[in-house]
Structure 1
Amino acid sequence: MTVRRAWLAHVPAQRTAPENGGIIPMSLRTVHFVMPGGVDDPAAPSGGNAYDRRVCLDLPGFGWQADRLPVPGDWPRPDATDREALARTLRELPDDTVVLLDGLVACAAPEVVVPEAERLRLAVLVHLPLGDETGLDPAVAADLDTRERAVLRAVPAVIATSDWAVRRLVSHHGLAPERVHLAAPGADIAPLAPGTDGVSHLVCVAAVTPRKGQHRLVEALAAVRDLPWTCDLVGGLGHDPGYVAHLRTLIERHGLADRLRLTGPRSGADLDASYAAADLMVLTSYAETYGMAVTEALARGIPVLATDVGGLPEAVGRAPDGGVPGILVPPEDPAALAAELRGWFGEADVRRRLKAAARGRRAALDGWATTARSLAGVLGRLPETPRRAA
């Protein structure tokens, strides 16, 4: 299978702007970007929302102006009102309009999106296959999976955020490989994190949900309670209140309340401060298409301990000298996680090696301009005229 990448060659002609020494497009085309209504909600941050917001800023540098179209609703489980809001949004766009849809919205409503593929030039950006969310009732997961397949088979272009996700979508939904494209998240290089004491303060940046597996982290930390660690779980608490309550109970049961904090969501300077205090980033997800929190940590030179799932190995990556800036453990294995934590605390050479690799990886991370360039290439190759119903 060949993964098609979108390159700068597909960007419209450019001209030099002498007044600022830069390069700007001669003219901007417009892509209408349909995204979840809560994309800007600071109480519910997510990697997908951050990706959507950021690429809108960078696309103009590659010939595309993004017209943001947030659609309110409980995505990906919309009710009739939510579906009508999406239908109205798409219905108001002229024929042959270029539209990029966040998969959280598009893949939940094939009855709305599939007919519009006959008159609009559609691309769907999949941050996470809908059926991969952990904790869903099997019947609900199967229904979401079916809905997603119908949408992705109907549109001319699908965009995924890792090589793993490209392969997953092609094989799982039977998509033609040439229609599935890669646009991996970028990273903004930040100042090196000073940490706390170089070893003991852990941070996990992830929404508190079953898919992120924070209960496994609690179990692993309980097994190494003799070590002098502290840990902040930074992430939204409103996605699954039942799971949050379970996690709090588990923390209390293990007597870890004075060392393990659920901080709630953080952004901006507060999130920067959380990373700055971190000696080690820990992520225990059951499923990730990429793992932007991993590259956010590496962009500050923070080593990573994560589960070996989905696109996380790609996010961890390697430094230019081949060094690996993190440790990957099998999913569903808190004992393996605890063993690696003991190694982190007990072996200074391990810490030095991981920190050196993290700094090397930091310098080699792709920026968001690379992401925007890839998206621009996909948009530029959409068929000029959608297929029409016979």
Structure 2
Amino acid sequence: MTAQLVFAYPGDLSTRTGGYGYDRRMIAGLETLGWDVELLALGDGFPDAGSVVKQNAERLLSALPDGTLLMIDGLAFGILDDWATREAGRLRIVALVHHPLALETGLDADRQSVLRESERRALVHVRHIVVTSQATAQTLVSGFAIRADDITVALPGTDPAPVSACDGDPPHIVSIGSLIPRKAHDVLVDSLKLIEGLPWKATIAGSRDMDPSTARALERQIAALGLHDRILLAGDCDDTRALLATADIFALASRYEGYGMVFAEALSQGVPVIACRAGAIPDVLPSDAGILVAVDDSAGFAEALEKMITDKAFHAEMAAAARRAGERLPGWDDTARTISEALEAIA
């Protein structure tokens, strides 16, 4: 008999972010393995959805028949604690946690506290939790009192893609990530100003729509620093793998990542990485394939960029190590099998 799963998600599943990309590839992989996956859209605005959207989402979920195997993306599930308390006894609920909601950058202390408590209460009622990194699993164990046995780590897969020649003149610095505070593109821009005298060009690709105020602030920052002719804000990118194939350095100063799929993609294309010691990034990036600096350390980020640009032998060693690391990364079929096995074990 075909295995059946309802996958409930917030927002637009076609959105170009790592989290939604993971969701799409997971769904496709499970269907390839024989699962019948029914999609259930919960509405926009999560985790800050208004009461009407939230109530409608709860109504849709409560309409599912008893015994349904239901996976809910954590962006929505983390605020559905009251619903989970009511319905957990009759539904087999699985949470997909990309990263805890309270760890999003830019939240005040009160909002962090509310989200942490609601997500903790919601996770009490699940049959199982799927996470995208060991770092997130450890966070749930240490900060949410979840048993390690109740968590499956299903690392994102990585597709084959063209390897960068890493011989740009000037070196091409690429950054990929939505223009939101957590991605810290402002730190990258400040660091690029500090190495203005070196040869380089930079492309920052990512949606402007998720946080328009942050996008506008980044545009003003680039203009004020006189870097508008050297930094391209490319907006949404149809083919990030093609963009990475042109990169000599991948640089993203994220303040937190639940995994960081784009870091893995850069490695798979032989592009050395400069990033921050935040979330799961140190787990993704081997020490010989990139440089990690402290969060919000523009000077340290600039020093790392300078080293990568000026020391050609060092850059070549890092690029070779990135290619080796990329060859060890899992594929999306591995991700799907891991999740499938976890779902099959749920009573």
Verify same fold: TM over 0.5: yes
Deviation at 1:214, TM superposition (A): 0.8
Deviation at 1:196, TM superposition (A): 5.8
Cα distance in 2 for residues equivalent to 1:114 and 1:264: 41
| Counterpart residue number, 2:256 | 287
Deviation at 1:245, TM superposition (A): 1.9
Alignment check: 8 A CA contact 1:122 1:155 kept: yes
* 1:115 and 2:77 correspond: no
Cα distance in 2 for residues equivalent to 1:198 and 1:367: 32
Query: Cα RMSD (Å) of the superposition?
Result: 1.5
Cα distance in 1 for residues equivalent to 2:167 and 2:26: 33
Deviation at 1:164, TM superposition (A): 0.8
What is the CA deviation profile of residues 200-240 of structure 1, one whole-angstrom value per residue up to 9, with x for unaligned ones? Answer: 10111001111111111111111000011111110011122
Q: Pick the aligned partner of 1:255 from 221, 226, 236.
A: 226
Query: 1:272 corresponds to which letter in structure 2?
Result: R
Alignment check: 8 A CA contact 1:63 1:376 kept: no
Cα distance in 2 for residues equivalent to 1:136 and 1:63: 41
3-state SS of the aligned residue for 1:377? helix
What is the CA deviation profile of residues 340-381 of structure 1, one whole-angstrom value per residue up to 9, with x for unaligned ones? Answer: 111111111111101111111222211011111111122112
Deviation at 1:47, TM superposition (A): 0.8
3-state SS of the aligned residue for 1:287? coil
Q: Pick the aligned partner of 1:93 from 64, 68, 76.
A: 64
Cα distance in 2 for residues equivalent to 1:283 and 1:272: 16
Deviation at 1:46, TM superposition (A): 1.0
Q: Pick the aligned partner of 1:200 from 165, 168, 171.
A: 171
| Counterpart residue number, 2:282 | 313
3-state SS of the aligned residue for 2:49? coil
Cα distance in 2 for residues equivalent to 1:198 and 1:120: 58
| Counterpart residue number, 1:276 | 245
* 1:30 and 2:4 correspond: yes
5+ long unaligned stretches in structure 1? 1-26, 319-323, 384-390
Question: For 1:77-88, what aligned pairs fall within 5 Å after superposition?
Answer: 77-88=48-59
* 1:184 and 2:184 correspond: no
Alignment check: 8 A CA contact 2:128 2:346 kept: yes
Question: For 1:132-171, what aligned pairs fall within 5 Å after superposition?
Answer: 132-171=103-142
Alignment check: 8 A CA contact 1:34 1:102 kept: yes
Query: 1:40 corresponds to which letter in structure 2?
Result: S
TM-score normalised by length of structure 1: 0.86
5+ long unaligned stretches in structure 2? none
3-state SS of the aligned residue for 1:93? coil
| Counterpart residue number, 2:313 | 349
| Counterpart residue number, 2:346 | 382
What is the CA deviation profile of residues 265-286 of structure 1, one whole-angstrom value per residue up to 9, with x for unaligned ones? Answer: 112xx43332222111111011
Deviation at 1:87, TM superposition (A): 1.5
What is the CA deviation profile of residues 29-50 of structure 1, one whole-angstrom value per residue up to 9, with x for unaligned ones? Answer: 0111011231113xxx211100
Question: For 1:219-234, what aligned pairs fall within 5 Å after superposition?
Answer: 219-234=190-205
* 1:362 and 2:326 correspond: yes
Aligned length: 347
3-state SS of the aligned residue for 2:159? coil
Query: 2:268 corresponds to which letter in structure 1?
Result: A
Cα distance in 1 for residues equivalent to 2:263 and 2:311: 22
What is the CA deviation profile of residues 248-273 of structure 1, one whole-angstrom value per residue up to 9, with x for unaligned ones? Answer: 22111211111112111112xx4333
More displaced 10-residue stretch of structure 1: 301-310 or 61-70: 61-70
Cα distance in 2 for residues equivalent to 1:63 and 1:198: 48
Distance of aligned partners of 1:133 and 1:281 in 2 relative to their CA distance in 1, 3 Å threshold: same
Cα distance in 1 for residues equivalent to 2:49 and 2:109: 18
Alignment check: 8 A CA contact 2:166 2:319 kept: no
Query: 1:373 corresponds to which letter in structure 2?
Result: R
* 1:130 and 2:101 correspond: yes
Cα distance in 2 for residues equivalent to 1:131 and 1:176: 20
Cα distance in 2 for residues equivalent to 1:38 and 1:162: 23
Cα distance in 2 for residues equivalent to 1:265 and 1:142: 32
| Counterpart residue number, 1:331 | 295
| Counterpart residue number, 1:387 | none
Q: Pick the aligned partner of 1:210 from 181, 184, 206.
A: 181
Q: Pick the aligned partner of 1:56 from 27, 38, 43.
A: 27
Deviation at 1:89, TM superposition (A): 2.0
3-state SS of the aligned residue for 2:72? strand
More relative contact order in 1 or in 2 (CA 8 Å, sep 6+)? 1
List structure 1 runs of 4+ shifted beyond 2 angstroms: 60-65, 193-196, 270-273
Alignment check: 8 A CA contact 1:199 1:344 kept: no
Query: 2:199 corresponds to which letter in structure 1?
Result: P
